[in-house]
Amino acid sequence: MPTLSQYWFQKEFFGGPFDVYNVSYPDGGWAWISDGSKSAATLARVRPDNEVVIDVAPQLNTPAILTTIDGLLTGGASRKSGIMAQGIFWANVPYYSKNPTAHNRSDMLIRVYFDFEINTPWYCSNANGNIAYYLFLYLDGSGHLKGYVDGWSYNYSGGGPFCTGSINSALNNAVPSGMSPLQTILDNALSLLSGSTFSTLYYLPGSGTNSSGDHSENADTDVAIAVLP
Amino acid sequence: MTDTKLFDLVEALLKGEGFTHISKTHSAHSATMSAEKGANRLVMHITDQAELPYHSLQNENVPSPSEIKLSARMPGLSPDASGQILQRAGQGSTTGSGERAKHQR
């Protein structure tokens, strides 16, 4: 039986902490929904039984992938978090303004990111920030699920007063070089579905769970890819 | 005078004055040298522009748009209603009142 998933975002649509309530939902059923708690946005979807869901963050936090990423970080930089993933609207991607027509404005990408720290010489403060890659997934003309690394970004605080230049130089070398191994990781993950074709692709906040009942998750740290035959 | 020549001159001067642990770093728009002499520490920095602590770039090697039949889009939004995106994504909607009854059939 299909599942009705109701998402209640505490701060913003498709972002931050949220609650999801899943319940079996027969064809033609009614849903009466009200919310007495403070929520900034809601989202509801009837999810069919043949929905295929890929929870992204756990796929990325394998020892092999973490080792690959750690190997890219040089120059005193170190990873300070696991790998997180979130759905992000194209207009909110940092390089959107450089080429706005690269995607449709309503397109969503997956932001894969992690926190990092860079130790600096005595005359500068250490830098803390995050490194992000943006994945664009799509169905091709044959209905196969494909994707590519659309771009990258970094931002940090600290590094002053004299070290932002050297930090940027290190990151400008290291971060783009992560696109190739990430593409390989993405290709390997999507190859598991290469034998199937799909008609619909969408993202769900958090793990994409459809298990019955209440769940509290965070859309800033996980996102799920969902496809329908 | 390039910063390299300047740094070489200053480094020679510092060594002559007994400074040790002389280190030099370079970036696209700056160069920094530091040195120590006992409890004294020295740093010299040259830059021709501020370097901001963020950067982003789109991948130039991506598939042709013609290969893309369907992409993931903002849920609940028709493809041509792009003007609503930022408003809806950033502000959400108002909430109701009363006890939360999530689902009834």
What pLDDT score was predicted for residue A74?
77
CA separation (Å) from A170 to A27, A75, A76, A175? Answer: 56, 7, 9, 8
Could you give the CA distance from residue B24 to residue B34 in angstroms, rounded to a whole number?
7
| Residue A127 resides in a domain | yes
Q: What are the pLDDT digits (tens) for A91-131?
A: 999 999 999 999 998 999 999 999 999 999 999 999 999 99
pLDDT score of A64 more than 70: yes
User: What is the number of domains present in chain A?
Assistant: 1
| Residue A209 resides in a domain | no
User: Number of A:B CB contacts under 8 A?
Assistant: 217
| Residue A14 resides in a domain | no
pLDDT (mean) for A130-146:
96
Number of H helices, E strands in chain A: 4, 12
| Residue A164 resides in a domain | yes
What pLDDT score was predicted for residue B74?
84
What pLDDT score was predicted for residue B102?
46
Tell me whether residues A225 and B72 touch, CB distance under 8 A.
yes
DSSP label at A69?
Answer: H
* In chain B, % of residues over pLDDT 90: 49
| Residue A197 resides in a domain | no
| Residue A50 resides in a domain | no
| Residue A204 resides in a domain | no
Tell me the pTM.
0.87
Q: Which residues between 55 and 74 in chain A have a beta carbon less than 8 angstroms from any beta carbon of chain B?
A: none
* In chain B, % of residues over pLDDT 70: 70
Is the ipTM higher than 0.85? The answer is yes
The whole domain housing A158 covers 55-191
Q: Which residues between 60 and 99 in chain B have a beta carbon less than 8 angstroms from any beta carbon of chain A?
A: 62-63, 67-77, 79, 81-82, 85-86, 88-93, 95-99
Q: Pick B88's closest partner by Cβ from A4, A13, A93.
A: A13
